[in-house]
Amino acid sequence: MANPSWPASLPQSWPLGVTEMVHDGRVRTEMDAGPAKLRRRFTTTWSRYKIPDGKFLFTGTQVGTFTDWYEGSPAGDSPNQIGMGTSLFTWTNPRGASETLTLRFVSRPTFKAIIPDSSIVLQTFAMQGFLVETVP
């Protein structure tokens, strides 16, 4: 079964300011004499992507879509849900390549209302604490 994908009704582009942190897959061993030895620890590594607070904007409707997608059970009525962020999902590569990445949430994202409106649908929210990682 394919992994769920990032919902099409949510913003598809990664916002400016995304930080990619590539895991160092090497081991450095200091020697008693001479230069340190360096070798591979893993055959593949993973990356983490951090979106700065307040850079990823959603409407009230999009917050509802995200919440349903994030909290829903993949075994439930919609297989495109990720069970409180525990399931893997696919999304575009933030480097702008045409490839997609298989990701999972490292921390639970939260939202902060930044443009209030009397209607929740018209409010603008900024996602806070958005950290995901690739799965090799």
Q: What pLDDT, in 10s, does the model give residues 37-57? A: 999 888 888 899 998 888 889
* 34: alpha, beta or left? (left if phi > 0; alpha if psi -120 to 50): left
pTM of the model: 0.81
Q: Please, are residues 11 and 56 in contact by the beta-carbon 8 Å criterion?
A: yes
Q: Please, are residues 133 and 104 in contact by the beta-carbon 8 Å criterion?
A: yes
Ranges of H-type helices in 4-95: 60-71
Can you give the residue ranges of every domain in the chain? 19-134
Length of the chain: 136
What is the tens place of the pLDDT at every residue in 97-134? 688 999 999 988 989 888 776 666 668 888 887 899 99
